[in-house]
Structure 1
Amino acid sequence: MGQKIHPLGFRLGVSQAHASHWFAKGKQYSQLVVEDHFLRESIYTKFPNAGIDSIHIERQVDKIRIHICSARPRTLLGTSRQGVQSLREELTQKLKNYRQQQLLTSRESKAARGEFDLTNPLARISIHLTKLSSPDSSAAFLAEFIVEQLEKRIPFRRALKQAVQRAQRVSVKGIKVQVAGRLNGAEIARSEWVLKGQVPLHTLRAKMEYDSRSARTIYGLLGIKVWIFKGFDKI
Protein backbone atom coordinates (compact mmCIF):
# COMPACT_ATOMS: atom_id res chain seq x y z
CA MET A 1 0.00 0.00 0.00
CA GLY A 2 2.75 2.43 0.90
CA GLN A 3 4.42 1.80 -2.46
CA LYS A 4 1.37 2.92 -4.47
CA ILE A 5 -0.36 5.69 -2.55
CA HIS A 6 0.90 9.27 -2.40
CA PRO A 7 3.33 9.33 0.57
CA LEU A 8 2.10 12.70 1.88
CA GLY A 9 -1.64 12.05 1.55
CA PHE A 10 -1.12 8.67 3.21
CA ARG A 11 0.24 10.42 6.34
CA LEU A 12 -2.18 13.36 6.59
CA GLY A 13 -3.31 13.80 10.17
CA VAL A 14 -0.62 11.46 11.51
CA SER A 15 2.85 12.79 10.72
CA GLN A 16 1.93 15.19 7.89
CA ALA A 17 0.09 18.51 8.35
CA HIS A 18 -2.40 19.95 5.89
CA ALA A 19 -1.24 22.68 3.51
CA SER A 20 -4.55 24.57 3.76
CA HIS A 21 -6.02 25.84 7.03
CA TRP A 22 -9.66 26.99 6.94
CA PHE A 23 -13.27 25.90 7.40
CA ALA A 24 -16.08 26.02 4.84
CA LYS A 25 -19.75 25.11 4.52
CA GLY A 26 -21.43 22.83 2.00
CA LYS A 27 -20.52 23.25 -1.65
CA GLN A 28 -18.17 26.10 -0.85
CA TYR A 29 -15.64 23.57 0.46
CA SER A 30 -14.88 21.98 -2.93
CA GLN A 31 -14.71 25.36 -4.63
CA LEU A 32 -12.21 26.70 -2.10
CA VAL A 33 -10.06 23.58 -2.52
CA VAL A 34 -9.90 24.26 -6.27
CA GLU A 35 -9.16 27.93 -5.54
CA ASP A 36 -6.21 26.98 -3.35
CA HIS A 37 -4.88 24.75 -6.12
CA PHE A 38 -5.29 27.64 -8.59
CA LEU A 39 -3.34 30.03 -6.34
CA ARG A 40 -0.51 27.53 -5.82
CA GLU A 41 -0.22 26.75 -9.53
CA SER A 42 -0.15 30.49 -10.32
CA ILE A 43 2.80 30.97 -7.95
CA TYR A 44 4.68 27.89 -9.16
CA THR A 45 4.20 28.94 -12.79
CA LYS A 46 5.38 32.52 -12.19
CA PHE A 47 8.47 31.46 -10.19
CA PRO A 48 9.60 28.06 -11.52
CA ASN A 49 13.21 28.56 -10.37
CA ALA A 50 12.59 30.01 -6.91
CA GLY A 51 13.16 26.71 -5.11
CA ILE A 52 9.70 26.81 -3.52
CA ASP A 53 9.43 24.10 -0.87
CA SER A 54 5.86 24.62 0.32
CA ILE A 55 2.88 26.97 0.06
CA HIS A 56 0.48 27.09 3.02
CA ILE A 57 -2.81 28.97 2.75
CA GLU A 58 -4.88 30.28 5.67
CA ARG A 59 -8.34 31.79 5.19
CA GLN A 60 -10.51 34.01 7.35
CA VAL A 61 -13.71 35.84 6.50
CA ASP A 62 -12.01 38.68 4.62
CA LYS A 63 -8.36 37.57 4.53
CA ILE A 64 -6.23 35.04 2.67
CA ARG A 65 -2.73 34.50 4.06
CA ILE A 66 -0.23 32.74 1.80
CA HIS A 67 2.95 31.47 3.45
CA ILE A 68 5.72 30.64 0.95
CA CYS A 69 8.84 28.75 2.03
CA SER A 70 11.53 29.18 -0.62
CA ALA A 71 15.23 28.42 -0.99
CA ARG A 72 15.66 31.55 -3.14
CA PRO A 73 13.38 34.24 -1.66
CA ARG A 74 15.22 36.99 -3.55
CA THR A 75 13.72 35.59 -6.75
CA LEU A 76 10.27 36.41 -5.40
CA LEU A 77 11.30 39.74 -3.87
CA GLY A 78 12.85 41.05 -7.08
CA THR A 79 15.64 43.59 -7.46
CA SER A 80 13.52 46.49 -6.23
CA ARG A 81 12.01 44.40 -3.39
CA GLN A 82 8.55 45.16 -4.74
CA GLY A 83 8.03 41.60 -5.93
CA VAL A 84 5.74 40.62 -3.05
CA GLN A 85 3.49 43.64 -3.61
CA SER A 86 3.23 43.01 -7.35
CA LEU A 87 2.61 39.30 -6.72
CA ARG A 88 -0.17 40.15 -4.26
CA GLU A 89 -1.84 42.47 -6.77
CA GLU A 90 -1.47 39.92 -9.56
CA LEU A 91 -2.95 37.10 -7.46
CA THR A 92 -5.84 39.34 -6.39
CA GLN A 93 -6.69 40.13 -10.02
CA LYS A 94 -6.28 36.50 -11.11
CA LEU A 95 -8.51 35.30 -8.29
CA LYS A 96 -11.17 37.84 -9.20
CA ASN A 97 -11.08 36.76 -12.86
CA TYR A 98 -11.15 33.11 -11.83
CA ARG A 99 -14.23 33.61 -9.66
CA GLN A 100 -16.00 35.47 -12.46
CA GLN A 101 -15.22 32.65 -14.87
CA GLN A 102 -16.46 30.05 -12.38
CA LEU A 103 -19.62 32.09 -11.86
CA LEU A 104 -20.36 32.13 -15.59
CA THR A 105 -19.51 28.50 -16.29
CA SER A 106 -21.01 26.94 -13.15
CA ARG A 107 -23.97 24.66 -13.78
CA GLU A 108 -25.44 25.70 -10.43
CA SER A 109 -25.13 29.41 -11.05
CA LYS A 110 -27.58 30.36 -8.30
CA ALA A 111 -25.58 28.52 -5.67
CA ALA A 112 -22.36 29.99 -7.01
CA ARG A 113 -23.78 33.50 -6.80
CA GLY A 114 -24.71 32.86 -3.20
CA GLU A 115 -21.23 31.68 -2.28
CA PHE A 116 -19.10 34.03 -4.38
CA ASP A 117 -20.94 37.35 -4.43
CA LEU A 118 -18.91 39.58 -6.74
CA THR A 119 -20.58 42.70 -5.35
CA ASN A 120 -18.75 42.12 -2.05
CA PRO A 121 -15.10 43.11 -1.74
CA LEU A 122 -12.65 40.31 -2.52
CA ALA A 123 -10.73 38.88 0.42
CA ARG A 124 -7.44 40.67 1.00
CA ILE A 125 -4.40 38.59 0.12
CA SER A 126 -1.24 38.85 2.21
CA ILE A 127 2.00 37.05 1.36
CA HIS A 128 4.63 35.96 3.89
CA LEU A 129 8.04 34.70 2.76
CA THR A 130 10.29 32.32 4.69
CA LYS A 131 13.77 31.26 3.63
CA LEU A 132 14.36 27.51 3.59
CA SER A 133 17.11 26.88 6.13
CA SER A 134 18.42 23.64 4.58
CA PRO A 135 17.57 23.40 0.85
CA ASP A 136 19.47 20.14 0.31
CA SER A 137 17.12 18.35 2.70
CA SER A 138 14.05 19.44 0.70
CA ALA A 139 12.54 17.01 -1.81
CA ALA A 140 11.11 19.88 -3.87
CA PHE A 141 14.48 21.64 -4.12
CA LEU A 142 16.35 18.45 -5.10
CA ALA A 143 13.70 17.57 -7.69
CA GLU A 144 14.08 21.05 -9.19
CA PHE A 145 17.87 20.60 -9.17
CA ILE A 146 17.60 17.31 -11.10
CA VAL A 147 15.25 18.92 -13.64
CA GLU A 148 17.76 21.73 -14.24
CA GLN A 149 20.59 19.22 -14.73
CA LEU A 150 18.65 17.00 -17.14
CA GLU A 151 17.49 19.98 -19.21
CA LYS A 152 21.17 20.99 -19.52
CA ARG A 153 21.83 17.51 -21.02
CA ILE A 154 23.78 16.27 -18.01
CA PRO A 155 23.80 12.41 -17.93
CA PHE A 156 20.98 11.25 -15.68
CA ARG A 157 23.19 9.03 -13.51
CA ARG A 158 25.44 11.98 -12.68
CA ALA A 159 22.42 14.15 -11.88
CA LEU A 160 20.97 11.52 -9.54
CA LYS A 161 24.34 10.96 -7.86
CA GLN A 162 24.83 14.68 -7.26
CA ALA A 163 21.34 15.02 -5.75
CA VAL A 164 21.94 12.08 -3.40
CA GLN A 165 25.33 13.47 -2.34
CA ARG A 166 23.81 16.86 -1.56
CA ALA A 167 21.18 15.21 0.64
CA GLN A 168 23.76 13.07 2.44
CA ARG A 169 25.79 16.16 3.34
CA VAL A 170 22.92 17.44 5.50
CA SER A 171 22.51 14.06 7.23
CA VAL A 172 19.04 12.98 6.12
CA LYS A 173 18.02 9.49 7.26
CA GLY A 174 17.38 8.23 3.74
CA ILE A 175 16.72 9.32 0.15
CA LYS A 176 15.31 7.66 -2.94
CA VAL A 177 15.46 9.29 -6.38
CA GLN A 178 13.79 7.90 -9.49
CA VAL A 179 13.84 9.04 -13.11
CA ALA A 180 11.74 7.55 -15.91
CA GLY A 181 11.51 8.08 -19.67
CA ARG A 182 13.84 7.87 -22.65
CA LEU A 183 16.99 8.03 -20.57
CA ASN A 184 20.02 9.36 -22.48
CA GLY A 185 17.91 9.21 -25.66
CA ALA A 186 17.27 5.45 -25.54
CA GLU A 187 14.70 4.05 -27.97
CA ILE A 188 12.76 2.27 -25.21
CA ALA A 189 11.65 4.17 -22.11
CA ARG A 190 12.65 2.77 -18.74
CA SER A 191 13.02 3.86 -15.14
CA GLU A 192 16.06 3.84 -12.86
CA TRP A 193 16.43 4.79 -9.23
CA VAL A 194 19.01 5.33 -6.52
CA LEU A 195 18.38 4.55 -2.84
CA LYS A 196 20.61 5.53 0.08
CA GLY A 197 19.68 4.88 3.69
CA GLN A 198 16.19 3.78 4.67
CA VAL A 199 12.92 5.05 3.15
CA PRO A 200 10.06 3.36 5.09
CA LEU A 201 7.05 4.13 2.89
CA HIS A 202 4.73 1.81 4.87
CA THR A 203 5.37 3.42 8.28
CA LEU A 204 2.84 6.16 9.07
CA ARG A 205 4.91 7.83 11.77
CA ALA A 206 7.87 8.22 9.40
CA LYS A 207 8.36 11.89 8.49
CA MET A 208 8.63 11.89 4.70
CA GLU A 209 9.11 14.53 2.04
CA TYR A 210 8.07 13.83 -1.54
CA ASP A 211 8.04 15.73 -4.81
CA SER A 212 7.59 14.90 -8.48
CA ARG A 213 8.59 16.99 -11.49
CA SER A 214 8.89 16.70 -15.28
CA ALA A 215 11.99 17.61 -17.26
CA ARG A 216 11.63 18.65 -20.90
CA THR A 217 14.46 17.21 -22.99
CA ILE A 218 15.03 16.88 -26.74
CA TYR A 219 13.96 13.23 -26.44
CA GLY A 220 10.71 13.97 -24.60
CA LEU A 221 9.55 14.30 -21.03
CA LEU A 222 11.39 12.66 -18.15
CA GLY A 223 9.58 12.06 -14.86
CA ILE A 224 11.48 12.69 -11.62
CA LYS A 225 10.40 11.55 -8.15
CA VAL A 226 12.21 12.25 -4.88
CA TRP A 227 11.52 10.70 -1.46
CA ILE A 228 13.35 11.92 1.66
CA PHE A 229 13.09 10.29 5.09
CA LYS A 230 13.79 12.60 8.04
CA GLY A 231 13.20 10.33 11.00
CA PHE A 232 10.29 9.00 13.02
CA ASP A 233 7.61 11.21 14.55
CA LYS A 234 6.70 10.70 18.21
CA ILE A 235 2.99 9.90 18.19
Structure 2
Amino acid sequence: MGQKVNPIGFRTGIFVDWKSRWYASKKEFGDLLVEDKKIRDYVSKKFKSAGVCKVEIERTRDEVRVVVFAARPGVIIGRKGTQIEQLQDELQGLVGRRINLKIEEVGRPELQAHLVAEDIAEQLAKRAAFRRTIKRALESTMEAGAKGIKVQLAGRLGGAEMARREKQIAGSIPLSTLRAKIDYGFVEAKTPQGHIGIQVWINQGEYEDQNDGADAQEGQASKKPKRSYKR
Protein backbone atom coordinates (compact mmCIF):
# COMPACT_ATOMS: atom_id res chain seq x y z
CA MET A 1 0.00 0.00 0.00
CA GLY A 2 1.52 3.33 -1.07
CA GLN A 3 1.77 6.19 1.39
CA LYS A 4 0.41 9.32 -0.31
CA VAL A 5 1.80 12.62 0.99
CA ASN A 6 0.71 16.13 0.03
CA PRO A 7 3.81 17.68 -1.61
CA ILE A 8 3.12 21.16 -0.21
CA GLY A 9 2.56 19.92 3.35
CA PHE A 10 5.65 17.70 3.03
CA ARG A 11 7.85 20.73 2.25
CA THR A 12 6.18 23.28 4.56
CA GLY A 13 8.64 24.59 7.12
CA ILE A 14 11.65 23.32 5.14
CA PHE A 15 11.47 24.97 1.71
CA VAL A 16 7.90 26.34 1.65
CA ASP A 17 6.53 28.98 4.01
CA TRP A 18 3.18 28.65 5.79
CA LYS A 19 0.12 30.12 4.03
CA SER A 20 -1.19 31.39 7.38
CA ARG A 21 1.39 33.20 9.49
CA TRP A 22 0.15 34.06 12.97
CA TYR A 23 0.18 32.84 16.56
CA ALA A 24 -2.79 32.50 18.91
CA SER A 25 -3.69 30.92 22.23
CA LYS A 26 -5.62 27.65 22.41
CA LYS A 27 -8.91 29.46 23.02
CA GLU A 28 -8.61 31.72 19.96
CA PHE A 29 -6.89 29.31 17.59
CA GLY A 30 -10.04 27.55 16.35
CA ASP A 31 -11.96 30.78 15.68
CA LEU A 32 -9.04 32.33 13.75
CA LEU A 33 -8.62 29.15 11.71
CA VAL A 34 -12.30 29.32 10.69
CA GLU A 35 -11.82 33.00 9.78
CA ASP A 36 -8.93 32.09 7.46
CA LYS A 37 -11.10 29.44 5.78
CA LYS A 38 -13.93 31.94 5.28
CA ILE A 39 -11.58 34.51 3.71
CA ARG A 40 -10.06 31.97 1.31
CA ASP A 41 -13.41 30.50 0.26
CA TYR A 42 -14.98 33.93 -0.25
CA VAL A 43 -12.14 35.26 -2.43
CA SER A 44 -11.87 32.02 -4.47
CA LYS A 45 -15.61 31.81 -5.19
CA LYS A 46 -16.18 35.50 -5.96
CA PHE A 47 -13.16 35.85 -8.27
CA LYS A 48 -13.06 32.42 -9.89
CA SER A 49 -12.50 34.03 -13.31
CA ALA A 50 -9.41 35.89 -11.97
CA GLY A 51 -7.45 32.65 -11.56
CA VAL A 52 -6.79 32.82 -7.81
CA CYS A 53 -4.18 30.16 -6.99
CA LYS A 54 -3.13 31.09 -3.45
CA VAL A 55 -4.23 33.32 -0.54
CA GLU A 56 -1.70 34.09 2.22
CA ILE A 57 -2.83 35.52 5.55
CA GLU A 58 -0.76 37.32 8.20
CA ARG A 59 -2.18 38.61 11.48
CA THR A 60 -0.94 41.43 13.66
CA ARG A 61 -2.51 42.96 16.75
CA ASP A 62 -4.26 45.66 14.71
CA GLU A 63 -5.10 44.13 11.32
CA VAL A 64 -5.25 41.07 9.07
CA ARG A 65 -2.99 41.18 6.01
CA VAL A 66 -4.38 39.23 3.06
CA VAL A 67 -2.19 38.62 -0.03
CA VAL A 68 -4.06 37.23 -3.05
CA PHE A 69 -2.03 35.61 -5.86
CA ALA A 70 -3.97 35.71 -9.14
CA ALA A 71 -3.25 35.14 -12.83
CA ARG A 72 -5.50 38.08 -13.83
CA PRO A 73 -5.24 40.68 -11.03
CA GLY A 74 -7.11 43.29 -13.10
CA VAL A 75 -10.36 41.34 -12.56
CA ILE A 76 -10.02 41.77 -8.77
CA ILE A 77 -8.72 45.35 -8.79
CA GLY A 78 -11.34 46.71 -11.21
CA ARG A 79 -11.35 50.15 -12.81
CA LYS A 80 -9.34 52.69 -10.81
CA GLY A 81 -9.18 50.23 -7.90
CA THR A 82 -12.86 50.51 -6.98
CA GLN A 83 -13.46 46.76 -6.83
CA ILE A 84 -10.53 46.07 -4.50
CA GLU A 85 -11.90 48.63 -2.02
CA GLN A 86 -15.29 46.95 -2.19
CA LEU A 87 -13.70 43.52 -1.58
CA GLN A 88 -11.77 44.93 1.39
CA ASP A 89 -15.02 46.24 2.94
CA GLU A 90 -16.79 42.92 2.32
CA LEU A 91 -13.99 40.95 3.99
CA GLN A 92 -14.00 43.33 6.96
CA GLY A 93 -17.76 42.74 7.32
CA LEU A 94 -17.27 38.97 7.01
CA VAL A 95 -14.49 38.74 9.60
CA GLY A 96 -15.18 41.77 11.76
CA ARG A 97 -11.55 42.90 11.73
CA ARG A 98 -9.49 45.47 9.83
CA ILE A 99 -8.27 43.99 6.52
CA ASN A 100 -5.15 45.07 4.63
CA LEU A 101 -5.53 43.63 1.11
CA LYS A 102 -2.76 43.14 -1.43
CA ILE A 103 -2.94 41.62 -4.94
CA GLU A 104 0.06 39.84 -6.50
CA GLU A 105 0.25 38.74 -10.14
CA VAL A 106 1.23 35.17 -11.04
CA GLY A 107 3.77 35.20 -13.86
CA ARG A 108 3.11 31.81 -15.52
CA PRO A 109 -0.36 30.35 -14.88
CA GLU A 110 0.61 27.18 -16.79
CA LEU A 111 3.09 26.33 -14.01
CA GLN A 112 0.54 26.68 -11.18
CA ALA A 113 -0.98 23.28 -10.36
CA HIS A 114 -4.24 24.69 -8.96
CA LEU A 115 -4.88 26.80 -12.07
CA VAL A 116 -4.11 23.85 -14.38
CA ALA A 117 -6.54 21.67 -12.39
CA GLU A 118 -9.23 24.40 -12.59
CA ASP A 119 -8.76 24.64 -16.36
CA ILE A 120 -9.20 20.86 -16.72
CA ALA A 121 -12.31 21.00 -14.50
CA GLU A 122 -13.89 23.72 -16.67
CA GLN A 123 -13.32 21.69 -19.84
CA LEU A 124 -14.71 18.49 -18.28
CA ALA A 125 -17.81 20.42 -17.13
CA LYS A 126 -18.31 21.38 -20.81
CA ARG A 127 -18.26 17.66 -21.69
CA ALA A 128 -14.84 17.66 -23.36
CA ALA A 129 -13.03 14.33 -23.85
CA PHE A 130 -10.95 13.74 -20.72
CA ARG A 131 -7.93 12.13 -22.45
CA ARG A 132 -7.62 15.00 -24.92
CA THR A 133 -8.00 17.51 -22.07
CA ILE A 134 -5.19 15.88 -20.07
CA LYS A 135 -2.93 15.76 -23.14
CA ARG A 136 -3.43 19.49 -23.82
CA ALA A 137 -2.66 20.33 -20.17
CA LEU A 138 0.54 18.26 -20.27
CA GLU A 139 1.72 19.88 -23.51
CA SER A 140 1.00 23.49 -22.44
CA THR A 141 2.71 23.02 -19.05
CA MET A 142 5.83 21.39 -20.53
CA GLU A 143 6.05 24.14 -23.18
CA ALA A 144 5.91 26.76 -20.39
CA GLY A 145 9.18 25.36 -18.99
CA ALA A 146 8.13 22.76 -16.40
CA LYS A 147 10.47 19.84 -15.63
CA GLY A 148 7.53 17.45 -15.32
CA ILE A 149 3.78 17.15 -14.76
CA LYS A 150 1.45 14.42 -13.52
CA VAL A 151 -2.35 14.58 -13.89
CA GLN A 152 -4.72 12.09 -12.27
CA LEU A 153 -8.51 11.97 -12.67
CA ALA A 154 -10.85 9.88 -10.52
CA GLY A 155 -14.60 9.39 -10.97
CA ARG A 156 -17.11 8.40 -13.65
CA LEU A 157 -14.86 9.31 -16.55
CA GLY A 158 -16.65 9.69 -19.88
CA GLY A 159 -19.99 8.93 -18.19
CA ALA A 160 -19.02 5.32 -17.39
CA GLU A 161 -21.14 3.39 -14.88
CA MET A 162 -18.15 2.45 -12.73
CA ALA A 163 -15.72 5.03 -11.34
CA ARG A 164 -12.04 4.59 -12.12
CA ARG A 165 -8.71 6.41 -12.14
CA GLU A 166 -6.73 7.65 -15.13
CA LYS A 167 -3.31 9.29 -14.94
CA GLN A 168 -0.74 10.63 -17.36
CA ILE A 169 2.84 11.77 -16.67
CA ALA A 170 5.24 13.88 -18.71
CA GLY A 171 8.83 14.57 -17.61
CA SER A 172 10.04 13.75 -14.09
CA ILE A 173 8.07 14.06 -10.84
CA PRO A 174 10.39 13.22 -7.87
CA LEU A 175 7.79 13.37 -5.07
CA SER A 176 10.12 12.15 -2.31
CA THR A 177 12.93 14.62 -3.11
CA LEU A 178 12.57 17.59 -0.79
CA ARG A 179 14.72 19.89 -2.94
CA ALA A 180 12.42 19.39 -5.95
CA LYS A 181 9.96 22.30 -6.27
CA ILE A 182 6.69 20.39 -6.65
CA ASP A 183 3.43 22.34 -6.83
CA TYR A 184 0.20 20.43 -6.09
CA GLY A 185 -3.43 21.27 -6.84
CA PHE A 186 -6.77 19.53 -6.33
CA VAL A 187 -10.11 20.57 -7.86
CA GLU A 188 -13.46 18.81 -8.26
CA ALA A 189 -15.20 18.99 -11.64
CA LYS A 190 -19.00 18.97 -11.36
CA THR A 191 -20.37 16.94 -14.27
CA PRO A 192 -23.94 15.63 -14.87
CA GLN A 193 -22.72 12.08 -14.10
CA GLY A 194 -21.11 13.12 -10.80
CA HIS A 195 -18.02 14.80 -9.40
CA ILE A 196 -14.60 14.05 -10.88
CA GLY A 197 -11.53 14.62 -8.70
CA ILE A 198 -8.58 16.24 -10.49
CA GLN A 199 -5.07 16.08 -8.99
CA VAL A 200 -2.13 17.89 -10.60
CA TRP A 201 1.57 17.73 -9.68
CA ILE A 202 4.00 20.10 -11.45
CA ASN A 203 7.78 19.94 -11.12
CA GLN A 204 8.99 23.57 -11.35
CA GLY A 205 12.68 22.70 -10.93
CA GLU A 206 14.68 22.88 -7.69
CA TYR A 207 14.71 25.29 -4.78
CA GLU A 208 17.67 27.63 -4.63
CA ASP A 209 20.42 26.80 -2.16
CA GLN A 210 19.61 27.96 1.35
CA ASN A 211 22.23 29.86 3.35
CA ASP A 212 21.72 27.79 6.51
CA GLY A 213 25.05 25.94 6.16
CA ALA A 214 27.01 28.52 4.16
CA ASP A 215 29.13 29.69 7.11
CA ALA A 216 29.67 26.22 8.56
CA GLN A 217 33.38 26.21 7.67
CA GLU A 218 33.94 29.66 9.15
CA GLY A 219 32.07 28.75 12.32
CA GLN A 220 33.91 25.47 12.77
CA ALA A 221 35.77 25.14 16.07
CA SER A 222 39.54 25.22 15.71
CA LYS A 223 41.50 22.09 16.65
CA LYS A 224 44.08 24.00 18.70
CA PRO A 225 42.79 25.23 22.05
CA LYS A 226 42.73 28.99 22.39
CA ARG A 227 45.12 30.58 24.92
CA SER A 228 43.53 31.87 28.08
CA TYR A 229 44.90 35.20 29.26
CA LYS A 230 44.82 35.93 32.97
CA ARG A 231 44.07 39.44 34.10
TM-score (norm 1): 0.84
Query: Match of 1:231?
Result: 205
Query: Match of 1:215?
Result: 189
1:81, distance to aligned residue in structure 2 (A): 3.6
Could you tell me which runs of 5 or more consecutive residues in structure 2 were left unpaired when the two chains were aligned: 211-231
Give the length in aligned residue pairs. 209
Query: Match of 1:189?
Result: 163
Deviations 1:38-97 (A, max 9, x none): 21111112122221121111111111111111001122123564111111111111113x
Over 3 Å counting, the alpha-carbon distance change for 1:49 and 1:3 in structure 2 is farther
Query: Match of 1:145?
Result: 119
Over 3 Å counting, the alpha-carbon distance change for 1:189 and 1:13 in structure 2 is same
Letter in 2 for 1:225: Q
Which structure is larger by alpha-carbon Rg, 1 or 2?
A: 2
Query: Match of 1:23?
Result: 23
Could you tell me which runs of 5 or more consecutive residues in structure 1 were left unpaired when the two chains were aligned: 97-122
CA RMSD of aligned residues (A): 1.7
Letter in 1 for 2:40: R
Deviations 1:215-234 (A, max 9, x none): 11111111101001112223
1:147, distance to aligned residue in structure 2 (A): 0.9
Identity of aligned residues (%): 41
Letter in 2 for 1:153: R
Query: Match of 1:118?
Result: none
Residues 10-159 of structure 1 aligned to structure 2 (within 5 Å): 10-79=10-79, 81-96=81-96, 123-159=97-133
1:2, distance to aligned residue in structure 2 (A): 8.1
Deviations 1:170-212 (A, max 9, x none): 1111110111111111111111011011111112222111110
Letter in 2 for 1:76: I
Q: Kindly indicate whether the alpha-carbon contact (under 8 Å) linking 1:142 and 1:163 is maintained by their aligned counterparts in 2.
A: yes
TM-score (norm 2): 0.85
Corresponding residue SS for 1:37: helix
Over 3 Å counting, the alpha-carbon distance change for 1:173 and 1:3 in structure 2 is farther
Deviates further, 131-140 or 27-36:
27-36
Distance 1:28 1:206 in 2: 36
Of structures 1 and 2, the one with the larger relative CO (CA 8 A, separation 6+) is 1
Corresponding residue SS for 1:214: strand
